[in-house]
Structure 1
C-alpha cells in the first residue's frame, strides 16, 4: 500500500511536469475502468481500493474552495472529477436506471470523503436531475469539458471549443467625457452582503460537525468535540441565526442615515427564508431605498441558474425570478420598468437621480459551480450585451454608474464571461464610478487595469465582506461615503463586532464598532485611482501595511489569524487585488 502511494504521487508529479496530457489521461482511464468494474461486479478490487484511498479528500480540505488548491492537489482533484463524470456519463448512456446511478454516485462521494453519507445523499439527490438533463441535451458533453469549466486551471484546463468563443458587441468609439466635478456634499451607502440566514440554526447546539454547515438542529448526536454553537453565530462553518439577521438591520437603522442600500443577500435558498428576510428588510427601513441583487444561495439547488430555455419546473430558475420581481417591486424598491429584465434573468437598471444610474447584475451565472455553464456557455439571458448597451446609453445621457454584482470577476467566474465583462468595464471605465461585490465573505478590493496601459488603474470593485461569520470571520457591513455630484467613493468605513465577545455576553446585543476608515487605516489622501495605485505598490513592499490588510481581509477574526503567515504568504492576498486581461500576476511576485 505504501509503495503504491509513493508511485502514485510520483506519477502525478510527472503529470504536472508534462502539461497534464498523457499521464493524467492514463490515470483517468485506469480509475474510470476500475469504477465501472466495481459497479458491474459489486466487488471493489485491490487497485480501486488503493486509488480511492490515495485520492480521497483529506478532512482538512473538505470545505476548501477547489479553485484555491495547489497545483498538485488540483491535478488530483481533476483526475477524480474526470473519472467520476466519465463513469456517470457511461452509466447513463448505457441505460442504467436513475436510482442505480444515484446510489452508486452517493457511494463514490462518501468513499472519496467529499462528505458524510447524509451530505452526499442530499447533494446528489438535488443535483443529479440537472446533470442528467444536461447530458440528455448535450450528447457530445465530455467529462473533460465539465471539469474544465469547474476548475479552469493549468492543472485542469478548459479546452476552448466554439461554444466558449463568444464575444459581446462593444461600442468602439472613443469614450465620451462627462464633467467630473467634485462636491462637498455626500451621500451614505450601506452594503450588506451574504447574510446566510439559517432557519435551522440552534444556539448552543453542535458547532463542530462533519457536514458543510454546522450549528443546525439534529446535529447534537455527533457533538463529541464539546464545541458549542454561539448565540449570535459561530466561526465553525455556521450560517446566521434569525436574531443576528434582525440585529444587523437594527444596527444599520439606528446608526446610519443612508441614501440607499446595496443588499446582496445570499440566503439558504428557499421560498420561506427569502420572503421572511426581505420582509424584515422592508419592515426595518420602510422608506429607505433598497437595491437588491441575487446571490448564489438563493437558487435551488444552490448555485444553479438555468437558461431561459429550461422550462421544466423541477430544474429551472423562473420561480425565483417571479418571486424577486414580485417582492422587489411590490415593496416599492424598484419601478415597474425593471420587471421585464428581472423576469428574464434577475438583473435590472434604475436611475435614482438625474445623472446617476445603478446597474444590478446576476453574475451568479458565471460562477464555476453553476452546472448550466456546461449546457450553455454563452452569456445566459444576453445579460452582458444588455450591460454594454445600457452603459453606452448612460454615456450618451451623461450618467455616472454604480454596478452591483454578487460574484466578482475573479477566478471563480468562467473565463469567457470574465473576459467579456472586463472588456466592457475597460470601455466604460470613465463613467463606472465603482463596482460593489460580495460572495467571498472577505474584506477585500479589486483594482482594474487599463488594456491600453497595464500600469494604470482605471476602475475599482469593493467587496462588502459578509454579515455571516461563515467561516472563521467576524460579521460586518460597509458604509461608503460617496460624492453626491460625481458618485465617486470618497472613503469607506467597515463596521463589525467581535463574535467571541458577543457570544460571551449572549444576553446583550453585539457591540458593533467602526473597525477602520480606509483612508485613515492605510494613510492615503483619497480613494482616487492614482492613490490606490500608490497604495497597492506600497502594500506589496511594506510589511506593516501588508499585515494590516491581511488582518482586515479576515475581519480581525482570531481563528483565521492564528494560522502562521509570513510576508511571502501574505503577498498572495495582494495578487487577489489585480484584475486585468493581461498578465497581472507578474506584478505581485
Structure 2
C-alpha cells in the first residue's frame, strides 16, 4: 500500500500490509537532533559548527563526518541510518514510530529555517519508507502543534488523527482488522509548564476515552511518546502528571501491549507495578544522535521490533548501532551493525511485565552473576560505547530504582534506602559517598525540572 492512498477512508488507511500475517516488524527511531550547521570542519567548542577564524585559537580537535559525541547529528549520520533501515526486513515492515526531538537543541534558527529542517527530515523518511506509514510524536525540542506541522505530516496521518494532532499534538490510529490501536501522546503536555493547560486537560480526557473505547472493542494498544514516566530525566513529567499517567496505565494494563519512548538517548526499560505485581512495561530506545553526559557517551542507535500483527504482542527486537569513532575513521560508508537481540541477550523467554521484572531484579549489584548482568545492561545502555568506569555501585542502584520505581516519591525512597543501608553497614564503604552525592544531584533535578 502506497502513501498516495492516504486520501481514502479511515478504515482503508490503517489497513497495513500483511494483515493476515502472524509476524511483522516495525522500526522505532528517536532523537535525531539534526543540526543543519554541523560540519566536519567545525569546532567542538561551538557545537561542531564552523569557527570564526578571527576568534579561534586553532587548537580545537577535528570532528568526524558522521558526528561527534559532544555535538548533535550531522546530515551524513542520519542519511546513513536511513540507508541502512531500507535494507532490513523491508518487505515485512508494517510502520515506523518516530518519537521526537527532530532538531538539534542548539539550532536557534528562525521559525522558517527550523520548519525547513523538519521538512528535510520528513522528506528523507518519506523516501526511505515510501510504502509505509511513519507515526511521529513531538519531543520537547520540536515546535508546538500547528497548521504547518499538520500539513507536513498529513500524508502519514488520517483525517481524524490530524484533528487532534493540530489541536494538541496527540492522536490515535485505529486498525480494525488487526485489533491493534496506536495511541500517540504529546508528553510535552505532562511537563510542569503545560500541566494545567486546556490542551493537557483535553489530552487526559481523550486518553481515557480512547482507552475505554479500546477495552470495549477488545483492542490491544501501543502507547507511544517522547518522554517516559519516571523521575530520572529532565524535561519529563511533573509529579501530578506522572502519578496520573501511572494510574491510567494500571487501570488499562490488560489491553496495553507495549509502551515506547525515547528522550533519554539511552537503551533502557521501565516496569510498572500494581500492588507490587508487574502489570506493564515501557521500552526506551537509544537516540540516532550520538550523546555525551557526565555518566558517559553513547553511540547512535536504531531499533527494529518483531511483533504479532494480530494481537500486537511484542515478540522481540533487534538493536542496531553505529560505532561512531570507527565510522569517522573509515573512508567509505558508515557500517551499522546488529548490536544484540533482546531475548537472546538477556535470556528472556518472552517480552512481558514479569520477564522484565525478573531482569530488573538481576541488575541489582550483590553477586558476581548480577554484576555480570548489569555490565551487559550497561553496554546496551550506551549502545556499545565503553562507559563502564563511569558507573559504580551507587550508579548501578540508581539504574535499578529508575527501572522499578516510577513514582517520584518511591524513586527517592529507593535511592535513600540503599544509602541508609550502606551507612549502617559502615561508613568506610566506598559506595556510601557516591550514593549520597547521587542523592544530592537527584534532589536538585527533582526541584528544578
Distance between the aligned counterparts of 1:277 and 1:584, measured in 2?
A: 37
Query: What displacement does 1:353 show?
Result: 4.4
- Say whether 1:480 aligns with 2:302: no
- Say whether 1:583 aligns with 2:410: yes
Look up the match of 1:571.
397
List gaps (5 residues or longer) in structure 2. 1-19, 108-113, 419-449
Q: Label 1:487 to 1:219 Cα distance change in 2 as closer, same or farther (>3 A).
A: farther
Look up the match of 2:180.
356
- Counterpart of 1:576 in 2: which secondary structure? helix
Q: Label 1:484 to 1:267 Cα distance change in 2 as closer, same or farther (>3 A).
A: closer
Look up the match of 1:415.
239
Look up the match of 1:334.
157
- Counterpart of 2:28 in 1: which secondary structure? strand
Question: Out of 271, 291, 315, which is 1:470 matched to?
Answer: 291
Question: Out of 140, 143, 157, which is 1:296 matched to?
Answer: 140
Distance between the aligned counterparts of 1:350 and 1:259, measured in 2?
A: 13
Distance between the aligned counterparts of 1:461 and 1:352, measured in 2?
A: 22
Question: Is the contact made by 1:449 and 1:457 (CA closer than 8 Å) also made in structure 2?
Answer: yes
- Counterpart of 2:141 in 1: which secondary structure? coil
Provide the aligned C-alpha RMSD in A: 2.1
**1:186-244 alpha-carbon deviations (Å, 9 max, x no partner):** 1111100001110100113212x1x6xx10133664465532221100011x1111121
Distance between the aligned counterparts of 2:411 and 2:263, measured in 1?
A: 22
Query: What displacement does 1:564 show?
Result: 3.8
Question: Out of 181, 189, 202, which is 1:382 matched to?
Answer: 202
Distance between the aligned counterparts of 1:198 and 1:390, measured in 2?
A: 36
Question: Out of 363, 366, 381, which is 1:553 matched to?
Answer: 381
Question: Is the contact made by 2:168 and 2:199 (CA closer than 8 Å) also made in structure 1?
Answer: no
Look up the match of 1:218.
51
Distance between the aligned counterparts of 2:48 and 2:245, measured in 1?
A: 38
Pairing 1:68-217 to 2, within 5 Å after superposition: 185-207=22-44, 209=45, 214-217=47-50
**1:495-522 alpha-carbon deviations (Å, 9 max, x no partner):** 00100000001x3111111111111111
Which is bigger in relative contact order (C-alpha 8 A, separation at least 6)?
2
**1:319-373 alpha-carbon deviations (Å, 9 max, x no partner):** x4212221222x2x111111210111111001134311001011012235xx455
Which TM-score applies when normalising by structure 2? 0.78
Query: What displacement does 1:485 show?
Result: 2.7
**1:98-136 alpha-carbon deviations (Å, 9 max, x no partner):** xxxxxxxxxxxxxxxxxxxxxxxxxxxxxxxxxxxxxxx
Question: Is the contact made by 1:367 and 1:407 (CA closer than 8 Å) also made in structure 2?
Answer: no
Distance between the aligned counterparts of 2:268 and 2:141, measured in 1?
A: 21
Distance between the aligned counterparts of 2:400 and 2:141, measured in 1?
A: 28
Query: What displacement does 1:290 show?
Result: 1.3
Distance between the aligned counterparts of 1:294 and 1:274, measured in 2?
A: 12
Distance between the aligned counterparts of 2:258 and 2:336, measured in 1?
A: 26
Distance between the aligned counterparts of 2:261 and 2:41, measured in 1?
A: 32
Question: Is the contact made by 1:195 and 1:467 (CA closer than 8 Å) also made in structure 2?
Answer: yes
Distance between the aligned counterparts of 1:288 and 1:576, measured in 2?
A: 34
- Say whether 1:230 aligns with 2:64: yes
- Counterpart of 2:280 in 1: which secondary structure? strand
Q: Label 1:265 to 1:584 Cα distance change in 2 as closer, same or farther (>3 A).
A: closer
What is the count of residue pairs matched by the alignment? 371
Larger Rg: 1
Distance between the aligned counterparts of 1:470 and 1:513, measured in 2?
A: 18
Question: Out of 271, 276, 281, which is 1:447 matched to?
Answer: 271
Query: What displacement does 1:247 show?
Result: 1.3
Pairing 1:533-548 to 2, within 5 Å after superposition: 533-541=357-365, 542-548=370-376
Look up the match of 1:125.
none
Distance between the aligned counterparts of 2:402 and 2:115, measured in 1?
A: 34
Pairing 1:303-322 to 2, within 5 Å after superposition: 317=144, 320-322=145-147
Question: Is the contact made by 1:437 and 1:462 (CA closer than 8 Å) also made in structure 2?
Answer: yes
Between 261-270 and 195-204, the greater mean CA deviation after superposition: 261-270
- Say whether 1:262 aligns with 2:97: yes
Distance between the aligned counterparts of 1:323 and 1:537, measured in 2?
A: 46
List gaps (5 residues or longer) in structure 1. 1-182, 300-316
- Counterpart of 1:571 in 2: which secondary structure? helix
Distance between the aligned counterparts of 2:80 and 2:86, measured in 1?
A: 10
Which TM-score applies when normalising by structure 1? 0.60
